[in-house]
């Protein structure tokens, strides 16, 4: 049985990493099958690849093959003088604050996408962008590519559309943050732990 998005998000924190990765893969494959019932090139009904080991839907009419596609998204923990940037997103149903994140556009590097998202959503510039890990994000078929960054210039000005509120938060005065299970939460937890060691 597959969980719906909401249930999956709630259960994520209870899963081991291996359980999460398996469940995420199952969701992404189911979504890919559902989106590729008909050929995107000629409209004929797609069929399974002749080789069951090959994860592809193939068009019997024109030969087009559709493989699962992943849409990368970038996410950053931005630090300024021991405090981190958190914001509330207009599209989230829950009231949690989270990190700056967004999809990578065509033709962009991860780093360019990260700087653009931070500029668009928070109106600041950052430096020292460093890779901080990744996590498959099956809502429905993405992967979060995580960075840490340091504030360089500008003052927070939420765009008012995607982001309705933002601020710099000290580790001992955080608002409601994402539940365990997401890479956002892991980065926030790691930041808190690193400050405790100082």
Contact residues for Zn ion, defined by CB under 5 A: 39, 41-42, 44, 59, 61-62, 64
Closest to Zn ion by CB, 60 vs 127, is 60
CB of 40 to Zn ion, least distance (A): 8
Quote the least distance from Cβ 38 to Zn ion, whole Å.
Answer: 8
Nearest to 145 by CA among 60, 75, 88: 75
CB of 70 to Zn ion, least distance (A): 22
Nearer to Zn ion, 18 or 37 (CB): 37
Select 43 or 175, whichever has its Cβ closest to Zn ion. 43
Q: How far is the CB of 29 from Zn ion (least distance, A)?
A: 21
Is-contact 86 169, C-beta < 8 A? yes
Q: What's the half-sphere exposure (Cβ side, CA atoms, 13 Å) at 152?
A: 11
Helices (H), the chain: 5-12, 17-35, 110-122, 183-196
Pick the closer one to Zn ion by CB: 3 or 64.
Answer: 64
Distance CA 198, CA 187 (A): 17
């Amino acid at each position: 049985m597959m969980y719906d998005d909401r249930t999956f998000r709630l259960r994520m924190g209870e899963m081991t990493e291996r359980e999460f990765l398996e469940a995420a893969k199952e969701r992404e494959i189911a979504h890919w099958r559902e989106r590729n019932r008909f050929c995107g090139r000629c409209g004929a009904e797609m069929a399974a690849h002749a080789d069951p080991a090959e994860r592809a839907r193939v068009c019997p009419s024109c030969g087009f093959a559709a493989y699962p596609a992943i849409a990368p998204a970038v996410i950053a923990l931005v630090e300024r003088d021991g405090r981190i940037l958190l914001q509330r997103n207009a599209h989230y149903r829950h009231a949690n604050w989270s990190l700056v994140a967004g999809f990578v556009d065509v033709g962009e590097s991860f780093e360019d996408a990260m700087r653009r998202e931070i500029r668009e959503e928070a109106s600041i510039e950052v430096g020292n962008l460093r890779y901080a890990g990744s996590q498959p994000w099956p809502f429905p078929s993405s992967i979060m590519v995580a960075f840490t960054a340091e504030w360089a210039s500008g003052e927070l000005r939420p765009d008012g559309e995607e982001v309705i509120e933002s601020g710099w938060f000290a580790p001992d005065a955080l608002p409601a943050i994402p539940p365990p299970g997401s890479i956002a939460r892991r980065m926030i937890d790691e930041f808190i732990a690193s400050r405790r060691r100082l």
